[in-house]
Amino acid sequence: MDISFAGKRALVTGAGKGIGRATALALARCGAKVTAVTRTQADLNSLVQECASITPVCVDLADWGATEAALQDVGPIDLLVNNAAFASLQPFLEVTPNQFDQSFNVNVKAVLHVSQIVGRGMKARGAGGSIVSVSSQASQCALRDHAVYCVTKAALDMLTKVMALELGPHQIRVNSVNPTVVMTDMGRLGWSDPEKAKTMTSRIPLGRFAEVEDVVNSILFLLSDKSNMTNGVTLPVDGGFLAC
Ligand code: NDP
């Protein structure tokens, strides 16, 4: 299945590393004009070195005002990928208010905010659009030491559905991908211990973690017109983890 994004303008958050970086590069390869948003300038420098057509925007998405300012001149966007997230693991009884606020600011509030900025433009232009948020299997299954992360992703799934409901009449589709573990920096944080990893892979029918490309391919599908009638879904990319 060939997917082309020629003539489309895309914005990817958390594009400095991991899934977001690979998504930004894949979108550019498929012909999109990509704006990459992240908070570490060195990552943006290396990204632009790798793909000169990408427009970099450096901002901490946890900061509402700074995000508003950074994105005000971003121009029309057809495709949005809400990928940036914060994960900090601890037992439920040790969760701090700071960890709670930081997680919700990036994983939920920034998604709402960036989607508002982009969605308003999509609605005003009347040409529709597609928004994909990167959620997690953790939105639907309790994971030890992941209390706050799980709750942010559960909130993100519901935000996806409400956005799909309200933006659908403007031909703006909103969906999420919900991956199992991927061995990025974030994945290594929770799952680099082989014993712990085995407890997870043993619960995945396909018996392995996802690759970055697995997630990117599902994001591209949901962004593209190949999924034109798909709206408000939370698509597992989990080898069957959530099915059992
Ligand atoms: P990485 O940690 O590899 O990359 C995350 C990217 O987001 C980094 O570039 C990071 O920048 C950026 N980012 C984080 N916080 C902010 C912020 N406040 N402002 C701007 N940019 C920010 O993560 P992954 O690629 O693994 O994760 C991508 C998405 O996939 C996330 O939504 C995550 O929850 C989800 N996911 C990941 C899984 C996994 O096992 N890896 C499993 C399921 C879902 P910096 O490095 O500078 O902080």
CA 206 – CA 204 distance, rounded (Å):
5
Residue 20, pLDDT above cutoff 80: yes
Token pair, residue 221, equals 């599908």
Is the pLDDT at 137 greater than 80? The verdict is yes
Question: Which residue in 6, 78, 87, 80 sits closest to 36, CA to CA?
Answer: 80
Q: Which residue, chain included where needed, has tokens 């994001």?
A: 219
CA of 125 to the centre of ligand 1 (A): 30
CA distance 145 to 141: 12
Average pLDDT of the residues in 119-132: 98
| Alpha-carbon span 178 to 136, nearest angstrom | 4
Contacts for 181 with CB less than 8 Å, ≥ 6 apart: 187, 190, 191, 197, 200, 209, 210
The reported pLDDT for the residue numbered 1 is: 72
What pLDDT, in 10s, does the model give residues 187-243? 999 999 999 999 999 999 999 999 999 999 999 999 999 999 999 999 999 999 999
* Amino acid making up residue 113: H
How is domain 9-237 classified at the CATH fold level?
A: Rossmann fold (3.40.50)
Q: What is the pLDDT of residue 174?
A: 99
Q: What is the ipTM of this complex?
A: 0.99
Indicate the pTM of the whole model.
Answer: 0.98
C-alpha count within 13 angstroms, C-beta hemisphere, residue 104? 10
Q: Tokens 């997230």 — which residue?
A: 85
Q: What is the pLDDT of residues 165-190, one digit of tens each?
A: 999 999 999 999 999 999 999 999 99
β-sheet with 172-179: strand ranges across: 55-58, 33-38, 9-13, 79-82, 129-134, 172-179, 234-237
List the chain domain ranges.
Answer: 9-237
Query: What percent of the chain lies above the pLDDT cut of 90?
Result: 99
Does 39 score more than 80 pLDDT? yes
Position in ligand 1 atom list of the atom nearest CA 17: 9
Taking the C-alpha atoms of residue 190 and residue 188, their distance in angstroms, rounded to an integer, is 5
109 is catalytic: no
Question: What number does the ligand 1 atom closest to the CA of 212 have?
Answer: 25
pLDDT at 110 over 90: yes
Pocket, ligand 1, Cβ cutoff 6 A: 14, 16-20, 38-40, 43, 60-62, 83-86, 106, 134, 136, 179, 181-182, 184-187
| pLDDT reading at 21 higher than 80 | yes
Q: What is the mean pLDDT of residues 41-64?
A: 98
pLDDT of residue 191: 95
Q: Whose CA is nearest to atom 31 of ligand 1?
A: 85
Q: Which of 149, 161, 196, 198 is catalytic?
A: 149
Instruction: Write the CA distances from 239 to 17, 64, 185, integer angstroms.
Output: 23, 36, 20
Active site residue 33: no
> What's the average model confidence in pLDDT over 22-46?
98
For residue 82, the cross-strand partners are 133
What pLDDT shows up at residue 99?
Answer: 97
Which residue puts its alpha carbon closest to atom 10 of ligand 1? 14
